[in-house]
Structure 1
Amino acid sequence: MTGPEAVLGLDPSLTRAGVAAIVRQNPDSIARPGMITHVGYSLREGVPWWRRSRRIITEAREINAIVGEIHGATPIVRAVIEGPAWASNLPSKFDRDGLWWALFSILDAKQIPVTVVNPVTRGKFITGRAPNGMKPGEHKKLVLSESQSTWFDDQHRIKNHDQADALGLAHMGALDLGWRLPSDTRRRHVENIALVEWEREWRAS
């Protein structure tokens, strides 16, 4: 492509899913963050099944609208979504899995190639370290601060760690495609991009 194009990053979460895009105007231009936002809300424990279902439906619809807005203005050539946390045993895992597949299916239905990234790989790409051994919430703070440092000119737009996660995923996708970016490429970026099984065989059915 010679015109504008985008890479989408998506960090699925029931309470606050991060959505971010990195956009370049042409192959010679420097790519920069476009949309950076989040959607979702909390539910108290023990709510009925239909409330849980409606949260998934509401969030999927909102993200579908956001993706449609981005894709309509600037074709998304790749989406990068954080994969499920397989070791998680939280009560909400069943709901999060439902949301995850809904979002993946939305992207696939729009004929956007999707790459799935392990949560630990995404975290190490952004911060240089895994959350192992860190206090609860400490790694999330590090994700936010490192993201704001990496994207210095846009740091005021990155409001929370979920947005930072999504932008980090888009960053991974753009770097793998060889896009020019305003930030330095560090060793942790190269090493963790190499760990990703990038989707290169996707095709419309």
Structure 2
Amino acid sequence: MIEKIVAIILMIVFYAAYLGKKYTQRRQGITTNQIGKGESKPQNVLRTEAVMGIATVAVIPVEVASIIIFPRLTMIPVLQNCLPMQWMGLTIAAIGVAFFIIAMLTMADSWRAGIPENDKTAFVQKGIYSISRNPAFVGFDLLYLGLLVAFPNIVHFIFALFPMVMLHLQIKHEEVFCLQTFGPEYESYTKRVRRYL
């Protein structure tokens, strides 16, 4: 039972952090969510962002259902009552939540969801961005992976894997944007710091 509570708390903290950041930026006149928006973005970028946005929202009810309704509907029967596996997954998810929040705080007012069309944002390389070029995406991936490890079932697997793939495609688009925006400084950064970890 405690595993379910911890999992739900991790989800609440993760998504509340995102919504809280969005709210505080909106009060400053900053549009945080730029996913699938913009007239000058290439169509393939808009499509990727739109599908990614849908995928990252669609996984939430599946995660909740996997935790609360189908916690023992596992793909691998031997994992059915495996508390060490659940706690390992919850630890991975907690690390993901930490990565995500630290990434948002480090980016400060430059943090956006989606490629900003007209905003001038700072090129952040300090803190957590000195060990990962995409720590917020690492946070998403670790949350999805951790909850899947803790509460595995085939539907959860599909709904966790799909947004991870879409986030990777988004990263590829953002790398092109960053190279165009920040030029040689970003290129040098990509040689020093890994895409993920």
TM-score, with structure 1 as normaliser: 0.25
